[in-house]
Chain A
Amino acid sequence: MNHRIELRSYSRELENFRLRLAISAGFMLLLFLLLFARFFYLQVSQREHYHTLAEANRISIAPIVPNRGLIFDRNGVVLAHNYSAYTLEIVPSRIRNLERLINELTTVVEISARDRKRFKKLMEENRRFESLPIRTRLSDVEVARFAVNRYRFPEVEIKARPFRQYPKGEFASHVVGYIGRINDKDLERLEANSELANYRGSQHMGKIGIEQSYERELHGIAGIEEMETDAAGRSIRVISRTPPAAGKNLKLSLDFKLQEVAEKAFGDRRGALVAIEPTTGDVLAFVSRPGFDPNLFVDGIDTENWELLNNSLDRPLNNRALRGLYPPGSTFKPFMALAGLELKKLSPESTISDPGYFSLPGSTHRFRDWKAGGHGLVDLHKSLVISCDTYYYSLAHDLGIDNIYNFTSQFGLGKKTGIDIEGEAAGLLPSQAWKMERHKQKWFPGDTISVGIGQGYNLATPLQLAFATAVLAGNGAAFRPHLVKQVMDSNNRVIREFGTSPLYRLKLDPANLKAVHNALVDVTRPGGTAAVAGTGAAYTFAGKTGTAQVIGVKQGEKYEESKLDERHRDHALFVSYAPAENPRIALSVLVENGGHGGSAAAPIARVVMDYYLLGKLPKEAAAQPVDQVDEEEDEEHRHQQDEGGGHG
């Protein structure tokens, strides 16, 4: 070994060294090329990508949520408005131990059990990275206390937010509706309508009622603020700002004072009332009782209140005026009468002799009148005033189902009125075609008979009855019923107005109309089925009582009100308009399980008319049902069920 090392020559060593230098030079060049390749990749190939990332780093785009439009009644009474308040918000995904955080937070700001429950419900319904309010509407003292302790809660943010408030609470709740937090379903819908961008930053949207159906107008257009931010998230400067456009204000056709009078008139009874101005289609009052407090829904309703509302037997969340389906009963008779006149099946003077029942030729089955033994000789006028059933059984038989269908559907029965809130029920006006399609059965002549008195397959919503009554009151002029009268910009300049031209006008013989109107006016006069409710009216008060069966009574059985469970009692109905010679208001009233239309429903109509036409406020108490009515003057009774058919 030593020997070999001795042999190493200096020049060989140097050569070897220089070789290694050359090798390392090549190696270094190679590595520099590698660096350059990476530069090229980053700065040329991927430049766009990194440019976007740098811009995303630099620029934060903050949506500016527009102020939601306000909702007023026709006289400017505020029904929905906004105010600004502080909330404490948490992003669930940032929290490790929520319970502990809330417990600690409780030492600073009061957080009730209800707030906790509501927050947990919100957490289930929302995405984990969304900022959710744990407490809303903080007082000034609470804001100050949290501010002092803020360092302890880096995950909790205090935010100033606009809040929606419904100052009238339960009143008109079914009309105004409410907004609620935007959920996944809403997001999907917004995306489908490509409206998602406009809702970036928005936390709420209309869920029901006007708030929902006029969401587009009310929401407004979001603004955008482009901010340059540094690594700590601080805003350095505003790059550009597009101001938001506030939502449109809505002026309803609703007269809030009238609405209030009407709702109070119901007391704690369930029911609905729809009042329409026949010359415009303006909905003056739209009642569904019981109502609910829409304020509960704005920031997510807590479980307790939700269950209370949802499980209540009274079903306060059900909009009876819009969706409740009831047999129109005798309120259907004026339309039958007009059909008979217009189609020349009868004249005002023609009479029938009423034995107390009607039988089809060749049949022994008796369709009974409410009054055993009958009303004797009955003409058109009398048939409406005393609500004779036999007269209409006979008329229905003469007209036939298709005539009934074709004529009465012109008054909007059996189809949606097209009112400007969502969820309307279409009702049901039976026809041969309908029965074939629905029941795969041929129409029997017997089916027609009970349709004549608004029973049988007939079903209508209180809104439809009010609309039909308005068309009748307006002598055939049909205006689409609408809750919103005007859409206004944020300075209350009118942008759009509804109810200026009718949908259509029915060509009706004025003489025929006069005959019906005269009879209906006499309904509220002595001898009529609503005579008590009409006592002392200072205007011509036209109306028609009705009763809708809840359970059927078999042939031969007798309906005994006192023996029935309260919820199995008949629904009381009343349709009405006044003053009859030049109607300013037409309405329908339904009192669920109220019993008789004349005693339960008509007094409510009277209170509403008195207020609307005379400005007369009722005495404090609700319009009580008229107590004892003289047997003879009692309105029509219920009709015994025939054919065992499934209506009621």
Chain B
Amino acid sequence: MARLPHAGHYFTRYIDGFLLCGILLLMATGLITLFSATDANSARVTSQAINMLVALGVMWLVANIPLEHIMRIALPLYAAGLFLLLCVALFGEVNNGARRWLNLGVTRIQPSELMKIAVPLMMAWYFDKHETTLRLRDYGVATLLLLAPVLLILRQPDLGTALLIASSGFYVLFFSGLSWRIMATVAIAGGASLPLLWSMLHDYQRKRVMTLLDPSQDALGAGYHTIQSTIAIGSGGVLGKGWQQGTQTHLAFLPERSTDFIFAVFSEEFGLIGNLLLLVLYLTLIARGMVIAANAPTQFTRLIAASITLTFFTYIFVNIGMVIGILPVVGVPLPLISYGGTSMVTMLLGFGILMSIQTHPKLVKT
């Protein structure tokens, strides 16, 4: 479906044109916004463009791998990731009070980033393996598979990443058919244990939550980000101030304007209309992901496609939600638009998997 007409072409054989178009449009939007956010810093824009090219390369590569192969690497990838996370906990470099990076001598890596894809792969693989004999115990095992990396990442501490991985794992659980009753029970128990969770949070994390409730409480500290971003967005109005005309952006009132808060730049300059178009663009990609998931041939592919799509949505919602002041400030980038190579690669890796699911011949079981 929706294959390019010349799908037989070697280069585009496994590429989903629909997804690619959406991705490229979003990337173009990202570069345009970044150009403004960095005050026409062409070096930054070029470096982001290179990030995008690399990520597109990764996507192409993954799209070309048949799902059976991807399935096979799920367990080793997960095991390696977990090992590396343990290494981080033991020997990781401390940066800004958080232990997230592992120095391998040659390069520094952030294993939590790897887990964003490894965890759903692993869980989907597990459910696929036990598809025919799914019991309550299997959900327990899957939950443990999820909790181990999430807790390690929470300890780093990196609330944003932990949240994203937890949600990607939860999506796998959800789509594998976890009973509503259990979910309700867990939700109630979770709600009841909120005070306990609160006591476990770090001060800065609590502050973020408190700041969300009342940004003016700490207007020059933690609340500053949200206050300035809501001013930027609000003052953009319906039509926006125009490209490179955002005063909040160009007079540096907006913090983190090329990374986590880039949406405020976009929104200030392109207004409500721009926001609407951006949401529609994202929705198109999400819809495509849902279609791919619905038509996926196996339990593994179904679960992985659905999880990737909903995680993509989660990124968007959490990022925009924090920028417009309805969610706490957590370090979640705006997919395909925020500056940064790692998240770009992770994101397109996911899209590569979606494409692979969609474009490889479907070996329907039965």
Contacts and interface: CB of A to CB of B under 8 A. Distances in A.
A231 B321 CA distance: 24
Interface residues of B, number: 48
Interface string A20-46: 110011001101101110111011101
Interface string B221-237: 00000001011111111
Contact of B247 (A16, A20, A36, A54): A54
B231 A50 contact: yes
Interface stretch (B99-107, B144-152, B269-277): B269-277
A229 B251 CA distance: 7
B133 A5 contact: yes
B282 to A, nearest CB: 8
Given A44-B272, A57-B253, A38 B234 contact: no
B279 A231 contact: no
Interface residues of A, number: 43
B283 interface: yes
Interface in A199-229: 228-229
Given A5-B134, A5-B135, A13-B177, A39 B233 contact: yes
B308 interface: no
A361 B135 CA distance: 135
B310 A54 contact: no
Contacts of A231: 228, 251-253
A40 B272 contact: yes
A25 B247 contact: no
Nearest to B131: A13
Given A35-B317, A58-B247, A232 B252 contact: yes
A17 B302 CA distance: 8
Contact of B286 (A17, A18, A28): A28
A42 B233 contact: yes
A51 B237 contact: yes
Nearest to B293: A21
B272 A43 contact: yes
A614 interface: no
A49 interface: yes
A178 to B, nearest CB: 40
B321 to A, nearest CB: 7
Contact of A47 (B237, B247, B276, B320): B237
A293 to B, nearest CB: 44
Given A25-B290, A47-B237, A53-B235, A39 B272 contact: yes
Contacts of B40: none
Contact of B234 (A17, A43, A58): A43
Contacts of A40: 272
Contact of A50 (B174, B233, B306, B313): B233
Interface string B267-306: 1000110011001000100110010011000010010001
A17 B283 contact: no
Contact of B324 (A24, A32, A38): A38
A43 B175 contact: no
Contacts of A13: 177, 299
Contacts of B313: 28, 31
A228 B135 CA distance: 66
Interface in A49-90: 49-51, 53-55, 57-58
B253 A17 contact: no
A230 interface: yes
Nearest to A39: B275
A446 B77 CA distance: 122
A40 B236 CA distance: 11
Contacts of B306: 17, 21, 24
Contacts of B294: 17-18, 21
B251 A228 contact: yes
Residue in A13, A35, A42 whose Cβ sees the most chain B Cβ within 10 Å: A42
B247 A57 contact: yes
A54 B324 contact: no
A197 B201 CA distance: 50
B237 A43 contact: yes
B330 interface: no
A444 interface: no
Contacts of A10: 365-366
A57 B246 CA distance: 12
Residue in A5, A17, A31, A40 whose Cβ sees the most chain B Cβ within 10 Å: A17
A230 B253 contact: yes
B236 A43 contact: yes
Contacts of B272: 39-40, 43-44
A37 B310 CA distance: 21
B346 interface: no
A51 B238 CA distance: 12
Contact of A28 (B247, B267, B271, B310): B310
Interface in B191-234: 228, 230-234
Nearest to A51: B235
B230 A50 contact: yes
The 9 closest A-B pairs by CB, nearest first: A50-B234, A54-B235, A42-B234, A230-B251, A231-B252, A50-B235, A231-B253, A43-B272, A51-B235
Interface of B: 132-135, 171, 174-175, 177, 228, 230-238, 247-248, 251-253, 267, 271-272, 275-276, 279, 283, 286-287, 290, 293-294, 299, 302, 306, 310, 313, 317, 320-321, 324-326, 365-366
Given A36-B279, A43-B271, A50-B230, 19 more contacts: A1-B135, A5-B135, A13-B177, A17-B177, A31-B317, A34-B326, A35-B320, A38-B326, A39-B272, A39-B276, A40-B272, A42-B233, A43-B238, A49-B234, A53-B234, A54-B234, A54-B247, A54-B253, A58-B251
Interface of A: 1-2, 5-6, 8, 10, 13, 16-18, 20-21, 24-25, 28-29, 31-32, 34-36, 38-40, 42-44, 46-47, 49-51, 53-55, 57-58, 228-232, 236
